[in-house]
Chain A
């Protein structure tokens, strides 16, 4: 009997140890792997690696918002655009990249706070509809204020050449993964503490959370603001990689892709955000190759679109249990 109990206890301890892997260790190991990869991969793969890092910033933030807090946002593409445009405007005026990235994060955080304040009062389809509207409005903002944003053509981003000791792709990968690992570290530390517990409590049962003394609105706004900051960083990094920004780079489908990435990756887990970010880079690349092999330009982008859609629908239908963390209390009419 005691042997059995002992075994159960060690099993439990092992389990606990596995789930409580320190985020510091993960980040250090991640950094070593990325640096090693940048010296072994060919330039194009290194560039793709950089893109994964940039995507990871926003998918990690969205995982926290949707998976842990139960708020669905389709406006994160627009928030990325905010970060990207801010960086472009800053660079073309001051050409000081580290400050520019910081400013991009701050501006996006402010915009996210405004949306978040509205979002905290909305549920389910209403929040989705509002954030969808935010995503759709981006091109019309750039054409209305075209002296600043230059309509559909967008802006180019002024950048200094990378340090001489490394290639452009290596520099991009280091920069993006620096941002990504920092994001993951901050989010992991944040969500492991009181803030994470509050968010899950709000997601699972708002009334109970309120009874326990948690401010529901404050928690929801905070979650939105944190994930907006991540989206701003991702947008700024995208602007650096592409060296240009335009509304075409941030269509509604980008927001839908981000949603797909976090749903497939497994909501609520930061490791899921990494899987999603890899898929966001890998699947279009595969679709591109299929399109080229078939010799059809029409196939190229649309194949990825269709595939992402099918995956999203199939995952939602086949494994709704895996999406348990998405559940928010569904209050029936009249109760």
Chain B
């Protein structure tokens, strides 16, 4: 029972990261109808930048801020320089270009930093507090919940309460009409990519200390888990992404805890297959978003 409680909290902490990462996927999907397969690699790249700054200055928090800023810039840059020019007549074109970006980013990171795992320290203790002899949460878990929760709240406020959020939604759902009404649709798309990549960087910074550390391919499995979470939520629904992320995190925590860590990736694959084949519209999507 103690173990079950511990695994549940651990799963929610993992799930919060997957939720943030899935949210980033959903943001781009809603804005541009593209699944950004380069998201994991982009997050790793900014995490490298963040940890380089942290090493150079001795301040983790400065590195943390730099990483997220780098994420915002990288997202905007990728949209402006590459994604804007993709021929969207087939959804596969965007996928192929994103996969090309994965190769570029992993290659460049390998050239600069090498292909071995580099240690990445967590800023806060990862020892769990004990309540009545049961290990619950660590300081770091609380930080993860706080950071992801803040992002979810800020994004919700941005999209529902601000004029910019309204313009972004309008640009995504009715680009032609929005353009006629004076909304800078291209700018909104760039902003959407920047926000998504910033959220992805945050997720990367949060998850990398809990995994093996920094490596050009460190986020591959995290990406698959987050993709599964986003698909579980319907790919169109931010709430779905968050709930999907928490569900996937819990599932993976139980499976790693009871069956062994190496089984977890296979469980993600199995879950993805089951979700895609049984509920192809996701648990939370309203209309036929899946037709693309």
Chain A residues within 8 Å of B, Cβ to Cβ: 70, 72, 74, 118, 121-126, 128-130, 132-134, 136-137, 140-141, 143-144, 251-253, 256, 259-260, 263, 298-299, 301-313, 316-317, 320, 323, 326-328, 330-335
Contacts and interface: CB of A to CB of B under 8 A. Distances in A.
A331 B269 CA distance: 27
B288 A136 contact: no
Given A125-B91, A125-B292, A144-B260, A136 B107 contact: no
A140 B266 contact: yes
A256 B265 contact: no
A316 B265 contact: no
Contact of A140 (B91, B97, B115, B264): B264
Nearest to A312: B100
Contacts of A305: 103-104, 106-107, 110
Contact of B99 (A130, A259, A306): A259
Contacts of A263: 96
A259 B103 CA distance: 11
B82 A301 contact: no
B263 interface: yes
Given A136-B265, A143-B262, A252-B217, A317 B95 contact: no
A256 B108 contact: no
A178 B71 CA distance: 49
A140 B224 contact: no
Given A302-B115, A312-B97, A126 B90 contact: no
A118 B288 contact: no
Given A313-B82, A333-B291, A306 B260 contact: no
B110 A298 contact: yes
Interface stretch (B137-145, B184-192, B272-280): B272-280
Contacts of B96: 72, 259, 263, 312, 316, 326
Given A122-B280, A303-B107, 9 more contacts: A125-B95, A130-B276, A132-B37, A136-B220, A137-B265, A144-B260, A144-B262, A301-B115, A333-B291
B201 to A, nearest CB: 20
Nearest to B88: A330
26 contacts: A72-B95, A128-B92, A129-B35, A129-B224, A129-B231, A132-B227, A133-B272, A137-B268, A140-B263, A140-B264, A144-B260, A144-B266, A251-B217, A256-B103, A302-B107, A302-B110, A305-B110, A306-B104, A306-B107, A306-B111, A308-B103, A316-B97, A320-B93, A326-B93, A333-B291, A335-B291
Nearest to A126: B276
Given A136-B265, A144-B263, A312-B96, A124 B91 contact: yes
Residues of B contacting A: mostly: helix
A307 B86 CA distance: 19
B168 interface: no
Contact of A130 (B107, B217, B266, B272): B272
Contacts of A124: 90-92, 95, 292
B221 A136 contact: yes
A176 to B, nearest CB: 25
Given A123-B291, A302-B108, A331-B292, A309 B101 contact: yes
Given A253-B106, A309-B101, A128 B111 contact: no
Task: Find the residue from B82, B92, B288 having the highest chain A CB count within 10 A.
Answer: B92
A30 to B, nearest CB: 29
Given A136-B265, A302-B107, A126 B100 contact: no
B273 A118 contact: yes
A260 B100 contact: yes
Contacts of A136: 220-221, 224, 265
Interface in B240-292: 260, 262-266, 268-269, 272-273, 276-277, 280, 287-292
A309 B103 contact: yes
Interface string B93-136: 11111011111111111110011000000000000000000000
A122 B262 contact: no
B87 interface: yes
Contact of B108 (A123, A144, A252, A306): A306
Contacts of B217: 251-252
B92 A72 contact: yes
Contacts of A306: 103-104, 107-108, 111
B111 A118 contact: no
A126 B290 contact: yes
Given A136-B224, A144-B260, A316-B86, A121 B280 contact: yes
Query: 5 closest Cβ contacts across the A-B interface?
Result: A309-B103, A306-B107, A305-B107, A312-B100, A309-B104
A236 B108 CA distance: 32
Nearest to A328: B90
A327 B90 contact: yes
A134 B235 CA distance: 20
A259 B289 CA distance: 26
A317 B85 contact: yes
Given A299-B111, A327-B90, A328-B92, A140 B273 contact: no
